[in-house]
Structure 1
Amino acid sequence: MPLDSTLQTIFAQAAASGAPDLTELPPEAARAVYRQILAAADVPPADVGASNHTIGGPGGALPLRIYRPHREAAEGIVVYYHGGGFVLGDVDGYDNVCRQLCDDSGATVVSVDYRLAPEHPFPAAIDDAWAALEWVAANASELASRHARIAVAGDSAGALLATVMCILARDRGGPAIAFQGLVYPPAAAGSRVDFPSRTLYAEGPTLTARMIDYFNGFYFGTEGAPKNALAAPLFADDLSTLPPALLQVATHDPLRDEALAYGQCLLEAGNDAIVVEYHGLAHGFISMGGAVRAARLAQQQLAQALRAALRTSAN
């Protein structure tokens, strides 16, 4: 399956420009480069309202950015966790993605600026993600004009956080989550399982094996990843009674096979799950809707699934 022709052009231009290897940079410098990468193929800002809020988190102040649709009354709330390997990414870098998700879905979107490694290793991101979810649940009636149901969504590391929130909410008796939107989750994060796609796409074209090791080293530290559902939900003892899921995967992604395996595990555990593999796309496509048509279609599919789930669950 060839790589999307537009992506081929983008990656060729990036190589010609001498774009640095993120693994050769310290985290702070890598974060600045990552913001530039996200902006290069993003969609134009959608016309939605946006405001910054700060709540009390387990590590102190926890910033959130809240998006509200202008074209219609908000139906439901989507808590969005950004990608970046638990080391990169922030609400600014994912601003356009969340604006577009808000506009397409008609839901209020709450983007969570969780703490990053190596300054804040595992499980700081999970603790912040949970604090944000609890705050949204406590304030749901103020965040959505109608149908104050909650969904979670995220890409890459953020997708892992989203699905872990569903597992924790089940085990802790709430908050109720109506749906989970998972975009190329690292479902076996930190593990050494030899998935074929990790070898096939070890050199990218976007995420590489070196980058995975770079992220895991900072996030999990010298002790390595713990063998539990919070680190690698693919190996959870129990994946039953979880919210319905849409799981989106790219063919040209070292995480493809573990994400597909996670989708299969959700189905085998009796959950409703739709797994969609985007042929010709690479890891990171959710931020490429401004340049790649199939990536824009993926954004729309995620938004429509969230819209349908939030409204259906309210009936």
Structure 2
Amino acid sequence: MTDYTKLIDAETWAFIERTNSFYPPDTIDATIDGQRAIYDRMCREFHAGHPDGIAVETTAIGTATHSIPIRIYTPTAAAPAALVLYFHGGGFVVGGLESHDDVCAELAKGSGCTVVSVDYRLCPEHVHPAAFDDAMAAFRWAADGQALPILLAGDSAGGNLAAAVAHHTRGHPRAAIGQVLIYPGLGGDQTRGSYVTHAEAPMLSVRDIDFYRDIRAGGADITGDVSFAPLFDTDCSGLPPTVVVTAQCDPLSSDGEAYRDRILAAGGKAVSFEEAGLVHGYLRARHSVERARQSFARIVAATASLAKGAWPY
């Protein structure tokens, strides 16, 4: 059994304990409404506000059947280098425009990019492929109506959506010029790697992963469905330059390495960083934990580099 007392430092333990005080480890046993209320309260407690120099607009993308709320964060000091479509985490069950509001604002300020946060539909009301369909609609909105180059980004479930969009749009004339995936769940092999060594990690367990996967599938057979799990794809050629950032103490960490290796084997550009001693959800620790602060700086720098067409790895 993994000894987290040796891997996780005091700052990170304080973050874990504070998170658990608002969002207990057994939250997935609550009702869906209860889970969302608990998660939203926790996010409010960690909200860090907006940096100066960011214009914020909340609007929506219209589709034939519904509207997809979005929030646009635009740096005001200089013309943005690219448009980042950002998909939030939350297991496809919780989260929205408010849960990652400060993260998106800080990412926009630090990277010099316009960041568009996409409030895709959630489970169980809207099982797969609803979230993926909304992510694709956001891509089409950006490709058809926005002049800036497109980057794809997201954390956890949102990293899954960003990668799925990359796989399905790689032949598009406005295909993404890069993707930044933060502790993404990509559908890796749960019999090996971090799924075994970190099955009971703080902040996210394999039991949690199974719950979110099953509720998203809604009873359907998702075997081989790349829009559900990008690692199902047997052809990873033609994908955009990819930066994956994972947490060491996270059952999903091996997904980042596996995805990197698939892209490299197909002749693409990819790099992964496993952040030592960090846990799933550490973006909310970027102002209180030095390791998380440094990791967020790497995420911002990667976004800025990809936006300029650079590959410094």
Same fold flag (TM > 0.5): yes
1:150 equivalent in alignment to 2:150: yes
Residues 17 and 297 of structure 1: CA distance in aligned 2, closer, same or farther (over 3 Å): closer
1:296 equivalent in alignment to 2:296: no
Render the CA deviation track for 1:282-310: whole Å, top value 9, x for unaligned: 01112321211221222221221121222
Question: Alignment RMSD, CA only?
Answer: 1.9
| Residue matched to 2:3 | none
Native 8 Å contact 1:81 1:161 kept in 2: yes
| Residue matched to 1:258 | 255
Residues 98 and 232 of structure 1: CA distance in aligned 2, closer, same or farther (over 3 Å): same
1:119 equivalent in alignment to 2:122: no
Displacement over 6 Å in runs of 4+: none
- Secondary structure of the 1:67 match is strand
Residues 7 and 265 of structure 1: CA distance in aligned 2, closer, same or farther (over 3 Å): same
1:60 equivalent in alignment to 2:48: no
Residue identity matched to 2:307: L
Report the Cα distance in structure 2 between the residues aligned to 1:210 and 1:197, rounded to whole angstroms: 14
Q: CA deviation at 1:41?
A: 4.1
Aligned partner of 1:137 among 143, 148, 157 = 143
Structure with larger RCO (C-alpha < 8 A, sep 6+)? 1
Residues 88 and 77 of structure 1: CA distance in aligned 2, closer, same or farther (over 3 Å): same
| Residue matched to 1:36 | 41
Q: CA deviation at 1:259?
A: 2.1
Residue identity matched to 1:72: A
With normalisation by structure 1, the TM-score equals 0.90
| Residue matched to 2:14 | 9
Report the Cα distance in structure 2 between the residues aligned to 1:16 and 1:61, rounded to whole angstroms: 35
Native 8 Å contact 1:91 1:113 kept in 2: yes
Report the Cα distance in structure 2 between the residues aligned to 1:17 and 1:74, rounded to whole angstroms: 36
Residues 160 and 59 of structure 1: CA distance in aligned 2, closer, same or farther (over 3 Å): farther
Report the Cα distance in structure 1 between the residues aligned to 2:303 and 2:136, rounded to whole angstroms: 20
| Residue matched to 2:185 | 186
Residues 236 and 2 of structure 1: CA distance in aligned 2, closer, same or farther (over 3 Å): same
Residues 237 and 36 of structure 1: CA distance in aligned 2, closer, same or farther (over 3 Å): same
- Secondary structure of the 1:89 match is coil
Aligned positions, number? 304
Flag structure 1 segments of 5+ consecutive residues without an equivalent.
142-147
Native 8 Å contact 1:80 1:111 kept in 2: yes
| Residue matched to 2:91 | 85
Residue identity matched to 2:124: P
Aligned partner of 1:272 among 242, 265, 269 = 269
Q: CA deviation at 1:231?
A: 1.6
Residues 18 and 126 of structure 1: CA distance in aligned 2, closer, same or farther (over 3 Å): closer
Flag structure 2 segments of 5+ consecutive residues without an equivalent.
1-5
| Percent identity of paired positions between Structure 1 and Structure 2 | 34
Residue identity matched to 2:128: F
